[in-house]
Structure 1
Amino acid sequence: MISIERLDTCLVDLPTIRPHKLAMHTLQRQTLVLLRLTCSDGSQGLGEATTIGGLAYAGESPESIKTNLDTYLAPLVIGQDADNLNAVMQRVERSVRANTFAKSALETALLDAQGQRRGLGLAELLGGRVQQGLEVAWTLASGDTAKDVAEAERMLELRRHRHFKLKIGAAEPARDIAHVVAIKRALGDRASVRVDVNQAWSEGVALRACQALADAGVELIEQPVPRHDVQALARVSARSPAPVMADEAIESLPDAFALARAGAAPVFALKIAKTGGPRAVLKVAHLAQAAGIGLYGGTMLEGSIGTLASAHAFATLERLDWHSELFGPLLLTEDILVEPPTYRDFQLLLPQGPGLGVSLDEDRLAHFRRDRSSLAVATA
């Protein structure tokens, strides 16, 4: 038996190309929780957990993820069969509630290590890729209309993105809507425009705003109302001329089931971190497909490791009706991989090597990790 021998974790702080404004937080840098899993045969796997804005977005922060991996998950998995992912993850589920970001990092690292041993890509371990690349939307989040238009024009010229999401909800609705309308008018039919409200509106505001946004040509409206109010989301979805997407409302497979049963949204955002890993997110995807719900490959603004883990999972799906948003590495000025992800012709291309298909740049990792020293979490 090849057993799990060691887990090493560290926090990695990477600068962003610009401030990234959301309804609840403005991101000035991104902190990754990097997990390196070592097995008894010497094989290793990488995993990543990344949140948005510390505790501003979700109930896990980089610091809590690292602590829980070190203190609770590591003792549960060390000595376990590294090839039996079902048994390992079930063992974790029985003893650790929630903490899906930490679980996602662990599941990714297990899959990466298994892929290294077997010479198979992570997508192949998940059943096989049916797409070699995923079209990627770009988020315009400077909050400045002229800057956002110029940024979108540059992305179109570079053939990097032709779908654009606008982060709104922090300002007065009328001001936000005017901002979106101006950008859509400038881009015209050359690009699609979507919005993400990040739960900022009441039901009444959402009903009026969705109509105005649809009239302006906005194609998709993400999580306009608070995540817990499923009935409000369903009522807004029923009356909105533009499709509404559930995002924060999905934090587990039971959440997805409840939303599907309530007919709360015609589109679901898929995020490996919020459901507990690449295998876990595919359960949500398959449930949504069975219910006739469209799919969108979401992001927690992960770095390259988390982004490619998501891409491997999403590439096994026959289609992503609303494409993906896996642009996280492009928001960062630095990378910790030898070869960063490849974006070309509006797509993120999947690596072809075993596991995730990536290699760490150890020197750059040493420079950007918060502790700047080797951290041994646990040994067998």
Structure 2
Amino acid sequence: MSSHHIEHVEAHLVGLPLLRPHKLAMHTIETQLTVILRIRCSDGVSGIGEAATIGGLSYAGESPESIKVNIERYFTPLLIGQNPYNLNALMERIDNSIKGNTFARSAVESALLDAQGKHLGLSVAEVLGGPLVDALEVVWVLASGDTHQDIDEAEKMLDLHRHRHFKVKLGATSLARDVQHAATIKQALGNRASVRVDINQSWSESLCIGAGAQLAAAGVEMIEQPVPRHDWRALARLSRHLPIPLMADEAIESVADSFNLASAASAPIFSLKIAKTGGPRAVLRTAAIAQAAGIDLYGGTMLESSIGTLASAHAFATLPPLAWDTELFGPLLLAEDVVSERPQYHDFKLWLPKGPGLGVQIDENQLARLIQR
């Protein structure tokens, strides 16, 4: 039995300005609002985690404000005084008392994994069983909404050897403009880069039938979540008939959702996001379901800072190389971060840090300056 226990839990609402506006179908982000969590243990170890959403409540049923409040009001009493190094017991305790709230749960599980890694002198990937790769290929998202600006941005990333796969955000304008926007970008990049598109649930099934064929003809490789998340039957029908693979993203809001989607053969690709499944260990359960069903994987993001990005990266690194790579570019889009040293990106990949836990430390001055009061 461990004599260690959790002494203190603190959750901070932090505003992180972006280098440029990030335009999605449902929202344009200029400052990313996120929750930075710290769990302090009696042996002097502190674990850190993060929970971010995209555009407040425009993406999911949790917002940064609700995440902070719910961690303080409901999660913290379940954590104080407990052994921080028995993750199974702690997360079972949380599951028995709190329903849903996967974003908040993910921040808690990430912080506990970070603490355990520091306590044992192991990386989070090692705590999760060990990494299969040292680095993850990273897709860059083109979301300025301006075709020429997106092309210039992609060319810069190729020149820097930072990204060679690009995802174009669509759905905020007319269907014809959307298709032309993506097709023009693909034509400009040619065979030097792959192009995928993300609709963020903004098309109907009928619109997607015609647009999907046009996008495939233009050389676009994949369409992410074109229809509303609840309409898994439409996703399944489109997956059977379109000449281009579809990826389920918003449709997966829990591990149970991933099982239901796999059972219905709704999409041949799943986007993995620790926030939507409830943490790094939880996302690996979704990955196992997809692998058993022969579904390819993609490592998604909620535009987290370096803390949440690395929590995802450590989990994804324990899987065989993901067929559709990852989208862990969040720290690269931020004008400011809350860590003393950001992760390393080069040779088209994000490289896992070598230190214990997540491998990053909070910059206390930055955190204090960026806290939203």
Instruction: Calculate the TM-score normalised by the size of structure 2.
Output: 0.99
In structure 2, what residue type is equivalent to 1:52? I
Residues 1:324 and 2:315 are matched in the alignment = no
In structure 2, what residue type is equivalent to 1:271? K
- CA deviation after TM superposition for structure 1 residue 209, in Å: 0.8
- Partner Cα distance (1:147, 1:230) in 2: 34
RMSD: 0.6
- Partner Cα distance (1:100, 1:147) in 2: 35
- Partner Cα distance (2:97, 2:172) in 1: 38
In structure 2, what residue type is equivalent to 1:28? E
> What do the CA deviations read for 1:156-182 (whole angstroms, capped 9, x no partner)?
000000000000011111110000000
> What do the CA deviations read for 1:94-131 (whole angstroms, capped 9, x no partner)?
11111000000000000000111100000000000011
- Partner Cα distance (2:59, 2:99) in 1: 19
2:150 to 148, 153, 168: 148
With a CA cutoff of 8 Å and minimum separation of 6, indicate the structure with the bigger relative contact order. 1
Q: What's the counterpart of residue 182 of structure 1?
A: 184
- Partner Cα distance (1:350, 1:40) in 2: 28
In structure 1, what residue type is equivalent to 2:347? D
- CA deviation after TM superposition for structure 1 residue 336, in Å: 1.3
> What do the CA deviations read for 1:202-223 (whole angstroms, capped 9, x no partner)?
1100111111101110111000
Q: What's the counterpart of residue 95 of structure 1?
A: 97
SS in 1 for 2:256: helix
- CA deviation after TM superposition for structure 1 residue 77, in Å: 1.3
- CA deviation after TM superposition for structure 1 residue 14, in Å: 1.0
Residues 1:131 and 2:133 are matched in the alignment = yes
> What do the CA deviations read for 1:338-369 (whole angstroms, capped 9, x no partner)?
11011001000000100001111111111111
- Partner Cα distance (1:249, 1:240) in 2: 18
1:352 to 351, 354, 359: 354
Q: What's the counterpart of residue 169 of structure 2?
A: 167
Q: What's the counterpart of residue 378 of structure 1?
A: none
- CA deviation after TM superposition for structure 1 residue 270, in Å: 0.1
- Partner Cα distance (2:179, 2:195) in 1: 12
- CA deviation after TM superposition for structure 1 residue 241, in Å: 0.8
In structure 1, what residue type is equivalent to 2:95? E
- Partner Cα distance (1:86, 1:240) in 2: 42
- What are the residue-to-residue correspondences of 1:158-307 with 2, within 5 Å? 158-307=160-309
Q: What's the counterpart of residue 377 of structure 1?
A: none
1:313 to 304, 312, 315: 315
In structure 1, what residue type is equivalent to 2:113? L
- Partner Cα distance (1:126, 1:94) in 2: 23
Instruction: Calculate the TM-score normalised by the size of structure 1.
Output: 0.97
- Partner Cα distance (1:2, 1:321) in 2: 41
SS in 2 for 1:134: strand
1:74 to 69, 73, 76: 76
- Partner Cα distance (2:124, 2:325) in 1: 20
> What do the CA deviations read for 1:251-302 (whole angstroms, capped 9, x no partner)?
1111001100100000000000000000000000011001000000000011
Which runs of no fewer than 5 residues in structure 1 stay unpaired?
A: 372-380
Runs of 4+ in 1 over 4 A off after TM superposition: none
* Equivalent residue pairs, number: 371
- Partner Cα distance (1:246, 1:240) in 2: 15
2:368 to 358, 366, 372: 366
Q: What's the counterpart of residue 41 of structure 2?
A: 39
Structure 1 range deviating more: 290-299 or 331-340: 331-340
- CA deviation after TM superposition for structure 1 residue 59, in Å: 0.7
> What do the CA deviations read for 1:233-255 (whole angstroms, capped 9, x no partner)?
00011111111000000011110
- Partner Cα distance (1:8, 1:114) in 2: 18
- What are the residue-to-residue correspondences of 1:110-125 with 2, within 5 Å? 110-125=112-127
- Residue identity (%): 63
SS in 1 for 2:270: strand
